[in-house]
Amino acid sequence: MLAILRNRTFRHMFAAQVIALIGTGLATVALGLIAYDLAGADAAMVLGIALTIKMISYVTLAPIAAALATQYPRRTWLVSLDILRAMVALALPFVTEIWQIYVLIFAMQAASAGFTPAFQATIPDILPREEDYTQALSLSRLAYDIESLLSPALAAALLTLVAAPSLFIGTALGFFASTLFVISVTLPSPKPSAAKGFYQRTTLGIGIYLKTPRLRGLLGFSTAAAAVSAVVIINTVVIIRAELGLSQQIVALALACFGAGSMLAALILPRVLTKWHDRSVMSAGAVIAIAAQGGLGFYTLMLETALPLVLISWFASGLGYATILTPSGRLLKRSAHPEDRPAVFAAQFTLSHCCWLVTYPLSGWSMSHLGMGPSLLLLNGLAVLGLFYARRQWPANDPTNLPHRHPDLAPDHPHLTETARRTDSASGSQPHQHPYVIDELHKTYPPG
């Protein structure tokens, strides 16, 4: 997996990602402390609203940002958004009112909604070989998991030396360092093949996504992943502290178990994906997570909650969660032309966060009003529906090359003459095949 770091461009982009992630982790800790200073006992509500603002900005602004991104060189776009995030981070220590937190969080997350899909779409252009890109996806997943473990520890260490607002300076430094790494390399910036209006550019990614069977399947898998992760993220503290009456250290242990499962998946998936189809691997991940949380839910209904079962369930949930999500970049890469990838990555960014926008409040509400067992089973049922939808929409036989016809095109159309060199097709009335993606000439998938 580490061999791909020999690629200088990817190495610098990966370093930019890791440093920005650490900075974001510091900001998360600092934001909670500042919210408590300003709101006291209402800090949880402040953070809940901030999280909702984050999700809404992701859902609404990512397609718009993707449309704007096509007008600028990719490196310029990424650097500008990193600088914007750094400036917002520098402003956060000076907030004196709760509404100021909301405004600045919206600005920072709006920048992230533009940065993250464009960044993700750049990696397959840097690493065109599928094996290299798969390793990059696993390495990226590993970076997220390690950051979730190390950032709180780093924040705790820094808080022994500085006040909480100073952590935002670390966040800003992370974004500025990320900027330097991005500037240090030349990034590909594929140009759209045809000029499009702003509305067309905004809806392009969603249109390609919803017309592609494997990506509709990915939406189902994203729903399952959101349901699984929402239970862990939202309810772990309640389960450990309220249900089991244990300490904050055990909360950290439970979350670490989830992260450890995710890290294990990231380490083994590059080898697994060389032998098994993405659909089968993602389905197996969903089944593992569903079985783990569903089993815990039924056990909780019949007997008392037990810490060892929670820890085992969280580890298996992390394993399944990462197994579901890590291959998603491969599907997005396979389903769009290079110039359309930023829009398709933005569509996945938007739709996956729509799933979390549903599962986060549902998980919190069900835990508060129904209890642990029913809450687990309710979210588990949603995950099962996501898995069922994914397998219905994404056919098991999913070849890259699809035979199809173009009866509406003239025999000398460039698309047909180019394809004819490889397939012996002479006209649009005769079938030909090539890597099939939704574009101006292929507006729907052929039946069958």
pLDDT in tens, 130-183: 888 888 888 887 887 777 767 766 776 777 777 778 888 888 999 999 999 999
pLDDT at 214: 94
384 or 155: which leads in pLDDT: 384
392 pLDDT exceeds 60? yes
pLDDT at residue 45 tops 60: yes
Mean pLDDT of the chain: 85
Over residues 310-337, the mean pLDDT reads 93
| Residue (of 214, 263, 144, 190) closest to 393 by Cα position | 214
- Pick from 73-87, 215-229, 345-359 the range whose average pLDDT is largest: 215-229
At 394 the pLDDT is 95
Start-to-end CA span in the chain (Å): 37
- State yes or no: pLDDT of 37 exceeds 80: no
Query: What pLDDT score was predicted for residue 152?
Result: 66
Give the start-to-end residue ranges of the domains of the chain. Answer: 1-184, 205-393
Helices (H), 70-197: 74-91, 98-126, 130-159, 167-183
For the segment 204-210, the average pLDDT, to the nearest whole number, is 90
Assign 435 to helix, strand or coil: strand
For residues 357-381, give the mean pLDDT: 90
Per-residue pLDDT band at 44 (split at 50, 70, 90): low
Q: Which CATH class is domain 205-393?
A: mainly alpha
How confident is residue 285, by pLDDT bands cut at 50, 70 and 90?
Answer: very high
What are the structure tokens assigned to 55, written together?
């999700």
Q: What is the pLDDT of residue 412?
A: 72
pLDDT at 448: 60
pLDDT over 80 at 337, yes or no: yes
Q: Which residue has tokens 């862990």?
A: 232
Distance (Å, whole) CA 221 – CA 295: 20
Strongest mean pLDDT among 181-190, 239-248, 290-299: 290-299
385, 226 contact by CB (below 8 A): no
On the 0-12 / 13-18 / 19+ scale of CB atoms within 10 A, 369 is exposed
In the structure, what pLDDT confidence band is assigned to residue 447 with cuts at 50, 70 and 90? Answer: confident
Split at pLDDT 50, 70, 90, the class of 323 is very high
How far apart CA 312 and CA 356 sit, in angstroms, is 23
Is 437 a residue whose pLDDT tops 80?
Answer: yes
Phi, psi (deg, nearest 5) at residue 404: -160, 170
- In one-letter notation, the amino acid at residue 443 is K
pLDDT at 246 over 70: yes
Report d(CA 407, CA 18) in Å as an integer: 50
Asked if 1-184 and 205-393 have one fold, the answer is: yes
What value does the mean pLDDT take over residues 309-328? 94
CATH T-level topology, domain 1-184: Growth Hormone; Chain: A; (1.20.1250)
pLDDT of residue 28: 73
How many other CB atoms are found less than 10 A from the CB of residue 262? Answer: 26
Q: Tell me what pLDDT residue 213 has.
A: 94
CB-CB contact of 374 with 247 (8 Å): no
When pLDDT is averaged across residues 421-431 and rounded to a whole number, the result is: 55
Answer whether 278's CB lies under 8 Å from 330's CB.
Answer: yes
